[in-house]
Amino acid sequence: MWGISQQYGVSTNRIVRINGLENPDKLVIGLALLIPEPYLQYRVQQGDTLEKISNQFGTAVQEIMQSNRITNPSTIYPGQRLTIPVIYHTVRERDSLYDIARRYGTTVQAIMQMNRITDPSNIHIGRIMRIPQKPKPIIEVNGFTNVYGQAGAQQVREVAYDLTYVSPFGYRMRQDGSLEVIDDTPTIRAAQSTGVIPMMCITNFSATEAGTQLAHTILSDLSLVEKILTNVIKTMKNKGYRGLNIDFESVAPEDRDFYNRFLQRAVDRLRPEGYFVSSSLAPKTSASQKGLLVEAHDYPVHGRLLDFVVLMTYEWGYRKGPPQAISPINEIKRVLDYAVTAIPTNKIFIGFQIYARDWLIPHVEGQEAETFDMQEAIRRAVQYNVEIKYDETAQSPYYRYKDNQGRTHEVWFEDARSAKAKFDLVKSYRSRGLSYWVLGYPFPQNWELLGDTFIVRKL
């Protein structure tokens, strides 16, 4: 690890922290490490504000806040050490401007202009040079959470600097038009105190019921539709929600028009109250695609009526299905290629799961995979001393190991490489942003890379 930190000019402690490594002396072949940029360190002076500091270094207040996990810009204090997201390079032996420019993805001329260098051959060892950066894209980020009470609130506080919205999942409808109650108040309060917009979510399914019949009962009865929306508005006002996400799944194909009518009524009633309306959509690759999960999801109607949509581009590696990448890039691209023909790109959130899965193989139908966080995936690779491989088609890491009982396992997870591949999709498709399912699974590489790649919009 010391050699890696020397090579990139970044401290070992920072590499360890960003990658969530428990023991830097125990690495495994194939493990992808996120190497952070050598950012400037600045000590806050008396009278400093984040706006003053950002102007001094030519960066944005929001970038400094993201880099330093700050949710309230007025809480900095004299003597505090801040990481300034401006790249500096200290010239080392055998460095040339050409090598430096290639490493940081810029040009020799741009470095010379920024640092007032007139002779490219005259750079001495130890000189600190600022490296020009391209402006970061501004995106919005949503995080779903399915943990309630103070635990849900803590999940929000841990990543609030990288969230635009948080959506506690979820309020399930009842047949009489009422809503099941959830303990979401602590999560909402945590969001409000950290500059995150709380978004209410309503749904028709549960862990034990697909909700197809419930959706039909509600959607086909206009009086129940109005009652549901009345209860939604009442809950939003009482709790402090700012918008709604509609996540109706496994809706019968013959109820498609009823679902579209519900969306129209939701918009008609919520927008005058000052609320935005969104939906979560099953991953669909064509308008004619068949299947209970997708047929009632009318992409053009959602795109026309709603403020934005969340594409649920994950769960190919289903917990009860055979082992495979959970959110493979090649499949996500197929969904996006269709979605952008039906929905404006500035209304599309790309879904990204942040958990790993471990399947027993050979897979037996109905056998459930174990779900856990990315750090546990790395722990198991280290524990069983196996090489981590990378599927270039799916853009996802995986490995196999034998446990102490001689059983073979296959693990699929995410790392810095696969996260970057998804971030590149956001940029190439010019989508509105990312939506994470689900908060609560530690994945430090993701959040660090997110802040390095984008400025997360705060509303």
Q: Is the pLDDT of residue 6 over 80?
A: no
- CATH number, domain of 46, equals 3.10.350.10
CA pair distance 125, 179, nearest whole angstrom:
67
- Residue 12: per-residue pLDDT: 83
**Catalytic site positions:** 249
Q: Is the pLDDT of residue 225 over 80?
A: yes
Q: Tell me which residue has tokens 């699929």.
A: 412
Pair (114, 216) in one structural domain: no
35: confidence class by pLDDT, cuts 50, 70, 90: confident
Residue where a domain stops, chosen among 90, 110, 130: 130
Residue 246 lies in a domain: yes
Q: Is the pLDDT of residue 410 over 90?
A: yes
Residue 116 lies in a domain: yes
Pair (112, 151) in one structural domain: no
Residue where a domain stops, chosen among 86, 112, 130: 130
Pair (44, 63) in one structural domain: yes
Pair (195, 260) in one structural domain: yes
Residue where a domain stops, chosen among 130, 163, 198: 130
- Residue 110: per-residue pLDDT: 94
- Residue 16: per-residue pLDDT: 80
Residue 412 lies in a domain: no
Q: Average the pLDDT over each of 97-111, 235-249, 255-269 and give the range with the smallest value.
A: 97-111
By the 8 A CB rule, do 84 and 41 touch? Answer: yes
Question: Rounded mean pLDDT of 359-371?
Answer: 95
By the 8 A CB rule, do 264 and 298 touch? Answer: no
Pair (55, 153) in one structural domain: no
CA pair distance 444, 448, nearest whole angstrom:
6
pLDDT tens for each residue of 163-219: 999 999 999 999 999 999 999 999 999 999 999 999 999 999 998 999 999 999 999
Record the tokens describing residue 285, joined without a space: 């690759």
Pair (78, 204) in one structural domain: no
Pair (305, 336) in one structural domain: yes
Pair (207, 340) in one structural domain: yes
Q: Average the pLDDT over each of 101-105, 237-241, 454-458 and give the range with the smallest value.
A: 101-105
Domain limits at 42?
A: 37-130
- Residue 244: per-residue pLDDT: 99
Beta-strand pair 308-311/276-281: parallel
Q: Is the pLDDT of residue 15 over 90?
A: no
- Residue 381: per-residue pLDDT: 96
Average pLDDT, the chain: 95
- CATH number, domain of 282, equals 3.20.20.80
CA pair distance 384, 379, nearest whole angstrom:
9
Pair (342, 202) in one structural domain: yes
Pair (87, 182) in one structural domain: no
Considering its fold, how many domains does the chain have in total? 2
Pair (160, 224) in one structural domain: yes
Pair (71, 148) in one structural domain: no
